[in-house]
Structure 1
């Protein structure tokens, strides 16, 4: 008997996810990790996953700590190394 199954995503009941592929909220999860965001503590949090991600992206894009004066990135993975 295999310890891991490729057909069953890992997760627990009571954890909520947002499936990017199907555009729906799921409990458990149902879809593979590559297609979902989460886990979230509640269904409403998962329902707003895309809005939360957009807000966080905007915060990052406008955070002066992550950009040089010329507009290039200087944070992790950015233009300096």
Structure 2
């Protein structure tokens, strides 16, 4: 699986396949089928600006797929003091 850093990194076929899978998983979830594709995985989210809609969307998605989401803000890290994200 390729990381999605920018849309141009993926072919149109990869984008369509990802959207098709998302539609399938959403329909199955609505029908009551649980998926644990991300069991044991944690998503660390780092925001330089607060984004409630984005944060909640990722938290819900991780929960629905069996994973966990962790929100890190500037005030909770060294990022607010100039430390680069790479560190």
Which has the greater radius of gyration? Answer: 1
TM-score, length basis structure 2: 0.26
User: Relative CO higher for 1 or 2, CA cutoff 8 Å, sep ≥ 6?
Assistant: 2
TM-score, length basis structure 1: 0.27
Q: Determine which structure has the larger helix proportion and give its number.
A: 2
